[in-house]
Amino acid sequence: MQPRARNFFYLSVGMALGLSLGIAGVVLADKPDTLGKDMPWQDAQLLAEVLERVKQDYVNPVDDHQLLQSAVRGMVSSLDPYSAFLDGEDYDDLKISSSGEYTGVGIELSIQDDAIVVVAPLDGSPAAAAGIRSGDVIVTIDGVAVNSSSLADTIGRMRGKEGSIVKIGIEREGTAEPLLFSVKRQHVELHNVRADLPEPGYAYLRIAEFSDTTGSEVAAKLRELRKQNKAALKGLVLDLRDNPGGVLEAAVAVADTFLDSGVIVTAKGRTPDSNFEMDSTPGDALSGAPIVVLVNGGSASAAEIVAGALKDNHRATLMGRTTFGKGSVQTVIPLTADTALKLTTSLYFTPSGISINHKGIVPDIELPRDDAAAAAPNAEAPGSSRDDEAVRRALKELQLPTTGTHKAVSASLPIA
């Protein structure tokens, strides 16, 4: 290796993977204690050798950009299950999920038996207006066959500029020939909150996920329910089953809706920004009416923050099964080239000071697994909440005089 090339190699690797893959993987003669400030020179050399060997000897050609992107992904993903490097597409998806809105046709999709299947068109969406139905199989977009192994690719091709037209080819059971729908892309809002009155005076509120708009959606639904009931509500079933979490601030807003005082959540990390405490503000939207929160093993992250805050402040009774146990906070750090780093920066603690990470929250009232894990409806699904056995159990609990102040000693302790 030429001295100039060697110097460039040291400098590049020391600048965090900005190395030149054109440099051969030769054992270096010099042995500085560290490369840059903190990177051991042996590890940097090993990385360079591996990258060069892959580039030279792998069965298919691989370019520098692909190798380095993979190296970055592997480095971050090895930290924990929730940290990740987000490329442009992943970053866009995260921003859509967090904001609760995007420009597209409004279809919920899944992959079933190697096919892209419509789970449901969102209420009021362009897809619903065009006549696309649940169970339809998407086969083409703008005349080009879909990649049935890539949901992200199909979704990306249906999004686009507001007002533009996308032609969606569909196979429908009972129809001999494929159907072609011309759908105008529009601004679509993802509604994660559903509510109804399963019994006079008693409300049911389902939160499927926490986005930037969830707090305002909950407040609006409660106003609608009070108007529909023509009186103050006597109690609430808050359904957080299979809610994977989402935006921290949205969870705090929802908890604050039902709390008049007290801590909602605290967090501890290594930086000043990752250490914080969030407290409730005066004003309880239900004026102290009892709450039962339904949870199960799919209730995670932001959903656990709400459940923990209401439980520890003795504002609600938790019913169901032990929650997932994701007690960490991820911060999205924008990087260059429309990429970002989703990095675990804090562990959060419930108001009682307990970390639920890998433990979960034990409900006050445990339901049989079948009841607690029953498929909770998505936010826009039709049908009455009264059809759900767990909801019926919660309604009965609400009508007990002590509901909302239940203090089971065993329930205040997480389990392994």
Active-site residue numbers? Answer: 301, 312, 326
Residue 21 to residue 43: CA distance in whole angstroms: 16
Residue 189 CB neighbours (<10 A): 16
Nearest to 266 by CA among 254, 281, 278: 278
Cα atoms in the 13 Å half-sphere on the side-chain side of 226: 12
The radius of gyration of the chain from alpha carbons, rounded to an integer in Å, stands at: 26
DSSP codes, 281-298 = -S--TTTT--EEEEE-TT
Q: 211 and 100 in contact (C-beta within 8 Å)?
A: yes
What's the CA angle centered on 102, arms 101 and 104, to 5 degrees?
A: 135
Residue 392 CB neighbours (<10 A): 16
Residue 147 to residue 154: CA distance in whole angstroms: 7
What's the CA angle centered on 406, arms 405 and 408, to 5 degrees?
A: 145
DSSP codes, 29-74 = S---S-BTTTB-HHHHHHHHHHHHHHHHHSSS---HHHHHHHHHHH
Q: 246 and 398 in contact (C-beta within 8 Å)?
A: no
Enter the DSSP assignment of 313. Answer: T
Region for 44 from its dihedrals, namely left if φ exceeds 0, alpha if ψ lies in -120 to 50, beta otherwise: alpha
Nearest to 48 by CA among 60, 39, 37: 39
